[in-house]
Chain A
Amino acid sequence: MAAETAPAPLLRVAFVGKGGSGKSMISGTIVRLLGAAGEPVLALDSDPLPGLAFSVGIPQHDAGLPEEAVVERPEGEDGPRFRLAEDAVTLAERHARVGPDGVRFLQIGKAGSRAGGNQGRSLHAFRHVAAGLDDGPWHLVGDLPGGTRQPFFGWARWARLVLVVVEPVSASILTGRRLARLGQVEGGPRVVAVASKVDGPADTELVAGRTGLPVIAAVPHDPAVAAAERLGSAPLDHDPDAPAVQAVRSLLVSLRSAGGVA
């Protein structure tokens, strides 16, 4: 049966939500689970604050793209001021770090970094590389900074599915409600919620009711995750059977069975 042997589509998923809601934990764990299953996966970290590197388990927290990744338009020519020096897939292949389970990891330079160089060029490079990876051979899993700014300025346009991570607390729910508007843009991605740090079905219902988004997974409040985060370890390495990790495993299964669009 052809339908059973056809390869599942590659994921193009971006995680957004309020700061501290659990975006990095969930996205980092998904990245590692894909890698452990032998699948090619590229993690895209566009948060100028540290986060995803910890949950993936990469000891590299500040390595943006070099400014040579973009070239400036010569004087007198038309067009945008900067363009990528090479195609996005080549740049991602060259500059992504390789982490545990063979996962690839690409990040923007971090705020307050001493790396120097032109942050603007590096940010531009990252954004345009991310936008040009659809033909690449990897699953794409993005972790955006907390809040509404990057998502509404088009940093997740490469994503076919946007997952809003929402804790059952007012500020996180209000943020989720704002982010739900991403899905109302014509031709925009599908937008769904993942309830995070929940203590039972009532919490999940609160997230669904107040954000108006379909909740496709509920990740429980889990002391094992808090312990991993205290140690700076990837939750998957700290306790692969922790309830929150199991919930992310289920989320990945349902994403894949739905062809990556939930």
Chain B
Amino acid sequence: MKVAVVGKGGAGKTTTAAVVARTLSRLGGPVVALDCDTNANLGLSLGLGWDATDELADLRSDLAEGEVEHEPTWSGLVARFGSDAPDGVRLAVVNRIEDPEPG
């Protein structure tokens, strides 16, 4: 099953995604939760805590600033930019990193 949760800020996307991920995992996973938000907060809703959530986001911004090498493979991304959350959910922060400025 592949599910994406979208909507306006504050609508409850992150909470919904986190509860769905942990519920699926309890039902017999495996589950990868992908945080595609440039302001990555999914770790908080999964129960990973402040520090781990922030560390994952920082790791990703280091990539944006060219401080670490890019990860070419899917499994590599989940390993490098991920962390183990409760109920066996694997969280990975995979937001886009390029400058969106047009022109």
Contact flags (1/0) for A113-126 with B, using CB distance below 8 Å?
00000011101100
Chain B residue numbers with a CB within 8 Å of A50 are 8
Known pairs A153-B100, A178-B57; A20 contacts B10 (CB<8 A): yes
| A145 cross-chain contacts in B, Cβ below 8 A | 9
When the two chains form their complex, are residues A174 and B53 in contact, meaning their CB atoms are under 8 A apart? yes
Query: In the bound complex, do residue A148 and residue B41 qualify as a contact, i.e. CB atoms below 8 Å apart?
Result: no
B contact residues, total (Cβ < 8 Å): 20
Given contacts A20-B10, A121-B102, A171-B14, 11 further A-B contacts (CB under 8 A): A50-B8, A70-B103, A120-B102, A121-B103, A146-B9, A147-B9, A170-B41, A170-B50, A174-B41, A174-B50, A174-B53
A55 interface residue per 8 A CB criterion: no
Query: Which residues of the other chain, B, contact A124 by a CB distance below 8 angstroms?
Result: 102-103
B contact set with A: CB distance below 8 Å: 8-11, 14, 37-39, 41, 44-45, 50, 53-54, 57, 99-103
Once A121-B103, A153-B101 are accepted as A-B contacts, the answer to whether A19 and B8 lie under 8 Å apart by CB is: yes
| Chain A interface main SS type | mixed
The number of chain A residues with a CB under 8 A from chain B is 29
- Chain A residues positioned under 8 Å from B53 (CB to CB): 174
Assembly CA distance A75 to B54 (angstroms): 46
Nearest 9 Cβ contacts at the A-B interface: A19-B9, A20-B10, A146-B9, A147-B39, A120-B102, A124-B103, A171-B41, A149-B38, A82-B103
How far, in angstroms, from A170 to B45 measured CA to CA in the complex?
Answer: 9
Query: Interface code A140-178, partner B: CB below 8 Å = 1, 0 otherwise?
Result: 000001111100011000000000000000110011011
Known contacts being A20-B10, A146-B9, A170-B50, is A175 close to B99, with CB within 8 Å?
A: no
Q: Is the CB of A80 within 8 A of B103?
A: yes
Query: In the assembled complex, how far is the CB of residue B54 from the closest CB belonging to chain A, in whole angstroms?
Result: 7
**Contacts A80-B103, A153-B100, A174-B44 known; A21 to B10 CB distance under 8 Å?**
yes
Residues of B within 8 A of A153 (CB): 99-101
- In Å, the complex CA distance between A149 and B50 comes to 20
Complex partner residue of B38 from A21, A127, A147, A170, CB under 8 angstroms = A147
Q: How far is the CB of B11 from chain A (nearest CB, A)?
A: 7
Q: How far is the CA of A170 from the CA of B101 in the complex (A)?
A: 29
Nearest B residue (CB) for A125: B103
Residues of A within 8 A of B101 (CB): 127, 153-154
A127–B99 Cα distance when bound, in Å, is 14
CB distance from B91 to the nearest CB of A (A): 14
A96 contacts partner chain B, Cβ-Cβ < 8 Å: no
Does A18 count as interface, using CB distance less than 8 angstroms?
A: yes
Contact, CB under 8 Å: A174 / B54: yes
B98 CB to nearest chain A CB (Å) = 10
Q: Is A10 part of the contact surface with B, judged by Cβ < 8 Å? A: no
Question: Closest CB of chain A to B63's CB: distance in Å?
Answer: 15
**Can you report 27 A-B residue pairs in the complex whose CB atoms are below 8 A from each other?**
A19-B8, A19-B9, A19-B10, A19-B11, A20-B8, A20-B10, A20-B11, A21-B9, A82-B103, A119-B102, A120-B103, A121-B102, A124-B103, A127-B101, A146-B39, A147-B39, A149-B38, A149-B39, A153-B99, A153-B101, A154-B101, A170-B44, A171-B14, A171-B44, A171-B45, A175-B39, A178-B39
